[in-house]
Amino acid sequence: MSVDLLLGLQWGDEGKGKIVDVLTESYDIIARFQGGPNAGHTLEFEGIKHVLHTIPSGIFHPSAINLIGNGVVIDPVIFEEELEKLTPYNIDFSTKLLISKKAHLILPTHRLLDAASEASKGKGKIGSTLKGIGPTYMDKTGRNGMRVGDILTKRWKDSYMALTQKHLKMLDFYNVDLEYDLSELETQFFESIETFKKCQIVDSETFLHKAQDAGKKILAEGAQGSLLDVDFGTYPFVTSSTTTAAGACTGLGIAPNRIKEVFGIFKAYTTRVGSGPFPTELFDDVGKRIAKIGHEFGATTGRARRCGWIDLVALKYAIRVNGVTQLMMMKGDVLSGIDIIKVCNQYKTEQGLIHHFPFDINNESISPKYINFPGWEEDLTQFNSADKLPKNFIDYIQFLERELNTPIKIVSVGPDRKQTILR
């Protein structure tokens, strides 16, 4: 059986958690393939909002098995906190949640290194979530990280101490004033490891291979967004993992020829958390309105998100890099009541207009070229079928489909799973 893939096409926060939740009833396995607790996947149903950081977004569906793949980095402390928050919902984690032996662990000193590195950059900060993600991936590629499977060995604490001592020496390099109590952090970490050991820890690639042979339907879930990809994003203001479709192959052990549908998720506008270039960013009352109505605050950090108009140059780029076959547009309801909707379809540069996503989109050298669309007054949250949507909104969707050359199959008109329209 083939594998479908779902990922974000902007700078993250597109609404992946909601869509995975909506789609899960059609799949047997939901598999997270990269990132770590820097992710914040928000789900809302029955009037309750849930935020997941490490656990896949299909966890609330009793029929689905949820897998944390080898490409994910895991903080046992945050993971345990997630489990505790889900306790009231009587989820059988022993059978519904699997963890890859090859996933890497975030140690307390990884978080300290993250904080020290960011503090040392001063005004050049990249906007890290300070969850230890970057240092953990550095240890992974440096071939001295700790993997989940290591905690099942007798000498895992020796390995832990060796890596921790290395990190403490590295902290001295940054020469920043960082207050911490390592013994307290370690006590919490070791306690969480014991909870961690109670979960199903598996050879995830073998599990997925057997599932494919058995005809199981698998949905691979990405974190962050394509424009934060370590290779194809707005470097250096990116995350430390591969957020594009290629990451599903390396992060789960799935062959490229097994991927069938690639679902790409984007907002009807654009947002970004932290530093980095953002050509269509708004600094006026419209931007403030979008932020307020859209509740644009990071699910992980709580930081206010920067808001701007939709950027089709960047979207086309992300669609091609990922091989997207279907699009899903989120938060069209947030734009209701805005008289003129702007769409960026080209960049202005010193060399003239360009349609492609260049090596560098530094705001000083690039500005957006817009086309205008009439807005809509109707409250989209009140609609439940595609044929009843306002004409101006339908025109907006159809224009995007033509420009992006990809069908928009799902339109979200509110945060609840019920506020999802199929086209």
**pLDDT band at 22; cut points 50, 70, 90:** confident
13 is known as an active-site residue: yes
Please pick, among 41, 53, 61, 104, the residue that the annotation labels catalytic.
41
State pLDDT tens for residues 389-423: 999 999 999 999 999 999 999 999 998 888 999 98
Global pTM?
0.92
Mean pLDDT, the chain, rounded, equals 91
Q: Give residue-wise pLDDT tens across range 101-144.
A: 999 999 999 999 988 888 877 666 666 778 899 999 999 999 99
Query: Which amino acid makes up residue 198?
Result: K
Q: Give the pLDDT confidence of 46-77 residue by residue, as tens digits.
A: 666 677 889 888 888 888 999 999 999 999 99
Among the listed residues 13, 21, 75, 333, the single catalytic one is: 13
Q: What is the pLDDT of residues 289-324, one digit of tens each?
A: 999 999 998 666 677 899 999 999 999 999 999 999
